[in-house]
Each structure stands twice: as C-alpha cells, then as structure tokens.
C-alpha cells in the first residue's frame, strides 16, 4: 500500500526556462546557421569583388602603363624628355593614379610623379622591385616580363603598383642616338601606382551591407523559427506534456486533438492510443489491485505482513477484528501475547530459507480466548531477491478443533455404545471391509476383533442371505430401502465351528442414495434358548399340574355321572323297575366309555413328543380325514368342502399327528354347525395351501355357532369343553401340542353366531430335510 501511494504522489510540472526550451534552441541554432551562412557568403562575395576590383584597377594601371610606354617610346625616339615627363605627370594626375615612375636598367628613377625620388637609384630590396628581384638576382625576363606584374606599393594608402617592362625594339637600338644597344632586352621599367581607396571603400560598403543583411536575416529567421516552433511544435508538445502530467496524476480522461495531419497529429493519435492503453491497463491494475485488496482484507483468514524484526507492518480486517489493531507490534505479542519469539517460528524459517512454511499454533484473541490456527508463511522478496517481509496467513481452526473434539467425543460415545452393546454388532464400509466388530460380537462368535477387522469374510459373521444382499447392494450402488434382513431366529457359526443361535437383523447403510456400508446386529439366543427350554419345562410342569387338576375335575364329573348311574341302578333294583335299570346301566356304561376316551386322549397327548416325520402328500391326509367324516356330516346336514391345489408339493410331517389334528378340528367344526340353530345351511371348508415362505397351511372353516372371546381364549386349555359331558376338553390341546411339535402354530378366528376358522401353519419341511423331499414317493 505504501508503494502505491508513492507511485501516485503528484510531481509538480516545472515550466522550462526559455533558454532550455527546444524552440528557442532550435530557433537560435537556425538563426546562427543562417548568420554564418550569410557571413560566409558575404566573405566570399566580398573577396571575389575585391579581386575583381583590384583586377580592374590593375587593368587600368596596365593600360595606363602601356599607354605611357607607347608615349615614352615616341618621346624617346624624338628625344623629348619633357614630353615624357609631361606624359608621366599627366597620367599621374589621373584620378586614382597616385604614382607613375620610370626606372632605367640600373634602377635609377628617371621620370616620376614624386619629385623627391627623381634620380634615386632603387635597389632590389625596394618593395617595387623585390617582387621580381628578390635576393638580388637580376630578374629573368620571361613570362613575368611579358605580363604586367602586379604588386602594391604602400605609400600611406593602399596602392597597387604595376610594373611594365620596356623592351628593346629595333627603333630603339637603330635610333640615331645609339643610346640603346641592340643586345639589351629590357631598357627600363615603368611603374604605375594606382590607389585602391575607392575599391576598398566599395568593398567596405559591401561588407557592411552584407553584415547588416546577415544580422537582420538571423534575427528574423530566429524569431520566425522560434515563433513557428513555439506555435507548431512547442504548443502541441506542451499539450502532450500536460496530458502526460495529467496521466501521471491519474487523470486518464484527457484526449489530444488529432486533427493535425502532420507528425504531431500522428504523435497525438499515438499518444491517445497509448493513454487509452495506459488507462485500460491502469484500470485493470486498479481492478486487480482492488481485487487483491479485497482478497487481502476479506479472505477468511488472518493475514499479517511482518518485517525481519517480526513487527507487523500490515494486517487485514479479519486479523484486526480477531486480534485487535496490532500493526507495529511484534507478531508473537499480537498473536500470543508473548514477550519473545515463539519456538519453531515459521516466519523465522521463511526468512532464513525463503521458502513457505506452515505450523499449527494456539493464540489468544483480543478478548483473551484461545484460538487455534494453522499459519502459512510466505516470503515477500525485494528486487535483489532478499526476503524483506513475510506474509502470515492463518486459518482459524478453533471451530474445526471444537468440531473435531465434539466429533471425537461423539465418536467415542458411539464407539462406547457399539462396544458396550450386549448385542453383537459387525459393520462394514462401502467396500465390504469389516470396520466394526464389537466386544459382544467377539464374545458371541469367539473371534478377536483385531483378527477379523479389515477382512471381507462376511460369510463368517452374517447369514448368507444378508451377505448376498450386501454384495449386490454395494455393487449396484443405489439406495434401496428394502435391502434389510430380519431373522427372528437363525444361527451363526462361532470360531470353534459351533452353531450359535441368534436373532439377527442386518441393514445396508445409505447416505445420499449411495451405500456406505452394512451393519448386522445379532442377539445371542443361547441363554435365551436355555431359558426357553427351562420355561418350556416349567410350562410342561404347569401343564401337568393343570392337567392333573383338570383331570381330577373331569374324572370327578365322570364319577359323578357314574354315581348317578349307580344310584339309578340301585333305585331301579329296589323298585324292580327294569326300564329304569336299563337307563341306569346305560349311564354307567356311557361314563365308563367316557373314561376310556379320556384315557385315550391322554395317551395321545403323552405320546405327542415323539412325532414321526416323513415325506407325505398333505392332500392325502386331508382326504382321508374327510372320508371319515362323510357319513356323520351327511347325517348332521353339514356340507364338507375340500379346497386344495392339485400341485401341492410333498411335505415333511407326521401323517398320524396331522390326521389327529384335522380329525379334531373337523369334528369340532361339525359340532359347532350342529349346535348352531340360527342358520339352515352349514358348511365346513377344509383348505390347504402353500404360503410364499414355504409353510403349509391347513384351514378348517365352519359357519357354526362361533365362539365368544372368553371361550376362544380358553379353547386350547386342557379339559375345557363347551360340549358338556360329550367332550373330553382335550382335543384342541392335543392338536395344539402336535402342531407345536411340527414347529408350527395354530390360530383361531371366530365370531359368535358366524363361525370359526382354525388355521394350522407348519413349515413344509425343515431345512435339513428339504433336499430329500423331491425324491419322496409320488413326487
């Protein structure tokens, strides 16, 4: 955050001093260039002008010289020295001619416009002579002599002297004076000195004019240039500059005028593109910065930046809310209230190796409450790659820890529940691997949990049916509520191979529609079975007691009947009443018969324990019984109906016992019909069928008198009869007993006045015998 502020700090826009302005410099440079150009031009122009002027002057002097020489020759020929002198003086008076002198071969001045030097002999060092006669050597006439030699004689002013050689001609050496010999080439020299004042004056004027022109041009061009630059270059540049300043201040709204078609227009367009890109980029940066800041501030973690002194330089909202405003404090103090660095400090490790570290810590929040957190540290490098800061990101584990603890507690609670259950509990995970095998399961089955956990030998601990259910359920992986099994009585094998009777219930466990495992609960029925046995024994004893009491009662009844008969017999004998005697004797006989019946039933009952099971056709037994009652039923006006499916399979049972049972029930049913006077049509239906669970059902249905609830409740008690002296009260009891011995049960539904339904349900075959059934006779 600090760095960002630095970046944004505004820089003042400085106005450049004029001397450093580009336009000024360019203008000045251009002006100077012009100045020098003009000056150079002027210099060459003046130089050539001077040469021209001097040439003109020289020409003029030459012509003068030639003229004088011509005049001289004529004068010489006429021996007219005055004429020559006059010519010299006349030429000398010509404007611009400052000196005319004529020297002979010896260098003696013979004619001159300067009277002071007349007759003086000039030596070779004289300025007029030394141009040719340097070093005293006689000049060689040649080219130089032919052309007029140019030299200047300075006599206070600027002078140009021309030397004209006077060559020896025929007219000279053939003249009558014979003054000049024929062999002489040069007879003398004429020197004409011309003043250069005028030429110099005009040159000077030209120089002055040129200089003035140069300066004014320089000033003008500089000014124009500066102005032009200022207008066309500096102004747009300054606008761009302003725009860049604005951009640097973060104002991206400015747009430059792009109408100009020149490079500056191009620059402005380019600049606008650039500024647009910068703006976009800056916006992205800003967005990203805001995102980062939001992330930093709002990340659901405590974030703090610490320097190498372990001082917190920055912290996020979450941190401040939890630990308070601790920026500037040491991290150990802020997080834990410590006075010195924590041992195994991850920040220290990060500083030392520049890598990320993590550790689990316990701190104190601003209210002094313990906070568990997982801290990750990461280095923040400077440009040299040195870790300047470390960022600490801490995830609050307090809730997680609490949940963990709660989970652990609840897990322990559940584990305890499972472990201390008196029922065996065996559970698997989603792969069928055993993960729970509680103490009761160990005790009941005799295995050690450590041996069987992690195995998949489910067949050892679950009934086969449930094991198949588990594998199919886990394989299909879809939730099915019906995948559960309840077996009131089954058995499991212990580690020693013994059969342990158990009550078993198993269920597949689902979560969100997918199986997560299976669990089986089983209750050890060994003790229960023993108890049941005892109870049965006790019941049997009780039955014996009841039976004895009831038997005594029944016998008393019979004896009373007998006594009655005896009394009647005695009375008849006393009265000698034969018919009464017969009646009395009949009574005696009938009671004796009743005793015989009772004894027979009792014998049947006592023999019941040993049922003789064999494969038989149930329908055959039913038909046999019904044939016995055919006559009696017809006599009593009762219709007997047999309802049995033709395909009823073989069953494994005691045919005699079932015969007895059905006989009793059918007999009772006919009696109930006979007793009923409310209806005219009576019917007994005997029905057999096979239930889905492979149990065999015999139903005897009558529409006779029916039973009240009280009678129905006592129906299976011994010696209970509603038939007065006609029944023994043992029939249903015997039937019940026989059915029980078959592992079945007998139930009765009845409504007074409507009739009764007795239903015997017995397993078609015990498991061990079912194999042999299909090979049974008639099968």
Q: Which stretches of the chain bind another protein, using CB under 8 A?
A: 550, 553-554, 556-557, 559-561, 564-565, 567-568, 571-572, 580, 583-584, 586-587, 590, 675, 677, 708, 710-711, 714, 719-722, 724-725, 729
DSSP letter at 229 equals: I
Cβ of residue 734: shortest distance to another protein, in angstroms? 17
Write the CB contacts of 159 (distance below 8 Å, at least 6 apart in sequence). Answer: 98, 99, 152, 153, 193, 194, 195, 196
> Closer to another protein at the Cβ: 42 or 554?
554
> Closer to another protein at the Cβ: 752 or 766?
752
> Closer to another protein at the Cβ: 489 or 675?
675
**DSSP states of 619-685 as a string?**
HHHHHHHHHHHHHHHHHHTEEEEEE--TTPPPEEE-HHHHHHHHHHHHHHHHHHHHH--S-S-EEEE
Cβ of residue 441: shortest distance to another protein, in angstroms? 50
Nearest to 61, CA basis, from 96, 108, 104, 112:
96
Cβ of residue 714: shortest distance to another protein, in angstroms? 8
How long, in residues, is the chain? 779
Cβ of residue 587: shortest distance to another protein, in angstroms? 5
Secondary structure (3-state) at 203: helix
Write the CB contacts of 166 (distance below 8 Å, at least 6 apart in sequence). Answer: 69, 72, 73, 102, 186, 187, 188, 189, 190
Cβ of residue 595: shortest distance to another protein, in angstroms? 14
> Closer to another protein at the Cβ: 17 or 724?
724
> Closer to another protein at the Cβ: 62 or 682?
682
Which residues does residue 149 pair with via DSSP β-bridges, in sequence order? 163
> Closer to another protein at the Cβ: 467 or 550?
550
Write the CB contacts of 81 (distance below 8 Å, at least 6 apart in sequence). Answer: 75, 111
> Closer to another protein at the Cβ: 475 or 575?
575
> Closer to another protein at the Cβ: 278 or 711?
711
| Phi and psi at residue 297, to the nearest 5° | -75, -40
CB contact burial 129-161 (16+ within 10 A = b; e otherwise): bebbbeeeeebeeeeebeebbbbbbeeeebbbb
Is 94:64 a contact under the CB 8 Å cutoff? yes
Cβ of residue 657: shortest distance to another protein, in angstroms? 27
Cβ of residue 722: shortest distance to another protein, in angstroms? 8
Cβ of residue 557: shortest distance to another protein, in angstroms? 5
Q: Using CA atoms, how far apart are residues 379 and 552, in angstroms rounded to an integer?
A: 104
Nearest to 54, CA basis, from 129, 160, 146:
160
Cβ of residue 556: shortest distance to another protein, in angstroms? 6
Q: Using CA atoms, how far apart are residues 682 and 35, in angstroms rounded to an integer?
A: 154
Cβ of residue 728: shortest distance to another protein, in angstroms? 11
User: How do strand 695-702 and strand 745-751 relate by DSSP bridges?
Assistant: unpaired
> Closer to another protein at the Cβ: 655 or 729?
729
Is 303:391 a contact under the CB 8 Å cutoff? yes
Cβ of residue 543: shortest distance to another protein, in angstroms? 17
**DSSP states of 361-402 as a string?**
EEEE-TTS-EEEEEEEEEEEE-TTS-EEEEEEEEEE-HHHHH
Is 310:341 a contact under the CB 8 Å cutoff? yes
Can you read off the two tokens belonging to residue 83?
């004429």
Q: How many CB atoms lie within 10 A of CB 517?
A: 22
Residues 418, 419, 420: CA angle, nearest 5 degrees: 95
Cβ of residue 752: shortest distance to another protein, in angstroms? 11
DSSP letter at 743 equals: T
> Closer to another protein at the Cβ: 450 or 677?
677
> Closer to another protein at the Cβ: 599 or 713?
713
**H/E element holding 26?**
helix 22-78
């Amino acid at each position: 955050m600090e760095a960002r502020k630095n970046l944004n700090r505004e820089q003042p826009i400085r106005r450049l001093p004029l001397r450093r302005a580009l336009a000024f410099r360019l203008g000045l440079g251009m002006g100077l260039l012009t100045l020098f150009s003009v000056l150079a031009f002027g210099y060459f122009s003046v130089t050539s002008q001077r040469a021209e002027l001097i040439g003109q002057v020289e020409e003029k002097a030459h012509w003068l010289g030639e003229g004088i020489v011509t005049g001289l020759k004529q004068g010489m020929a006429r021996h007219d020295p005055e004429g020559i002198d006059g010519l010299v003086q006349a030429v000398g008076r010509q404007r611009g001619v400052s000196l005319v002198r004529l020297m002979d071969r010896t260098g003696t001045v013979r004619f001159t416009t300067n009277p002071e030097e007349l007759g003086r002999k000039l030596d070779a060092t004289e300025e007029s002579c030394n141009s040719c006669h340097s070093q005293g050597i006689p000049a060689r006439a040649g080219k130089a002599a032919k052309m007029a030699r140019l030299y200047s004689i300075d006599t206070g002013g600027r002078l140009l002297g021309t030397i004209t050689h006077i060559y020896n001609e025929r007219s000279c050496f053939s003249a009558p004076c014979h003054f000049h010999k024929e062999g002489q080439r040069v007879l003398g020299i004429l020197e004409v000195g011309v003043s250069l004042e005028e030429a110099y004056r005009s040159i000077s004027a030209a120089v002055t004019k040129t200089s003035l022109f140069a300066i004014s041009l320089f000033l003008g061009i500089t000014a124009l240039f500066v102005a032009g630059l200022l207008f066309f270059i500096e102004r747009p540049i300054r606008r761009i500059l302003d725009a860049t300043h604005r951009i640097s201040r973060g104002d991206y709204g400015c747009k430059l005028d792009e109408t100009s078609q020149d490079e500056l227009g191009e620059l402005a367009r380019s600049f606008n593109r650039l500024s647009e890109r910068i703006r976009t980029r800056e916006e992205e940066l800003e967005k990203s910065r805001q995102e980062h800041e939001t992330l930093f501030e709002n990340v659901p973690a405590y974030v703090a930046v610490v320097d190498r002194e372990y001082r917190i330089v920055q912290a996020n909202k979450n941190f401040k809310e939890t630990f308070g405003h601790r920026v500037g404090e040491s991290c150990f103090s802020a997080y834990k209230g410590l006075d010195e660095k924590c041992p195994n400090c991850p920040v220290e490790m990060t500083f030392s190796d520049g890598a990320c570290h993590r550790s689990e810590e316990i701190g104190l929040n601003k209210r002094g409450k313990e906070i568990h957190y997982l801290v990750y540290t990461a280095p923040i490098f400077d440009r040299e790659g040195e870790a300047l800061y470390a960022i600490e990101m801490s995830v609050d584990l307090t809730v997680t820890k609490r949940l963990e603890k709660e989970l652990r507690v609840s897990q322990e609670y559940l584990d305890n529940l499972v472990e201390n259950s008196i029922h065996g509990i065996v559970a698997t995970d989603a792969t069928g691997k055993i993960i729970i095998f509680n103490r009761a399961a160990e005790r009941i089955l005799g295995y050690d949990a450590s041996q069987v956990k992690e195995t998949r030998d489910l067949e050892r601990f679950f009934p086969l049916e449930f094991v198949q259910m588990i594998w199919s359920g886990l394989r299909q992986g879809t939730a099915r509520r019906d995948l559960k099994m309840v077996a009131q009585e089954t058995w499991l094998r212990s580690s020693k191979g013994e059969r342990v009777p158990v009550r078993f219930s198993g269920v597949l466990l689902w979560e969100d529609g997918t199986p997560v495992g299976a669990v089986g609960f089983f209750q050890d029925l060994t003790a229960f079975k023993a108890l049941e046995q005892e109870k049965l024994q006790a019941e049997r004893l009780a039955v014996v007691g009841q039976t004895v009491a009831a038997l005594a009662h029944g016998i008393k009844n019979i004896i009373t009947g007998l006594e009655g008969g005896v009394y009647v017999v005695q009375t008849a004998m006393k009265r000698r009443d034969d018919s009464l005697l017969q009646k009395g004797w009949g009574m005696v006989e009938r009671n004796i018969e009743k005793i015989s019946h009772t004894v027979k039933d009792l014998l049947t009952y006592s023999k019941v324990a040993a049922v003789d099971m064999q494969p038989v056709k149930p329908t055959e037994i039913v038909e046999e019984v019904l044939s016995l009652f055919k006559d009696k039923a017809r006599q009593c006006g009762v219709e007997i109906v047999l309802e049995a499916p033709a395909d009823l399979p073989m069953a494994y049972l005691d045919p005699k016992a079932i015969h007895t049972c059905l006989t009793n029930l059918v007999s009772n049913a006919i009696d109930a019909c006979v007793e009923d006077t409310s209806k005219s049509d009576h019917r007994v239906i005997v029905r057999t069928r096979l239930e889905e669970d492979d149990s065999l059902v015999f139903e005897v249905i009558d529409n006779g008198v029916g039973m009240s609830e009280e009678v129905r409740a006592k129906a299976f008690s011994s010696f209970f009869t509603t038939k007065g002296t006609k029944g023994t009260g043992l029939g249903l009891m015997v039937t019940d007993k026989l059915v029980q011995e078959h592992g079945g049960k007998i139930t009765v539904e009845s409504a007074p006045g409507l009739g009764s339904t007795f239903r015997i349900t017995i397993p078609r075959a015990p498991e061990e015998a079912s194999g042999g059934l299909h090979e049974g006779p008639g099968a």
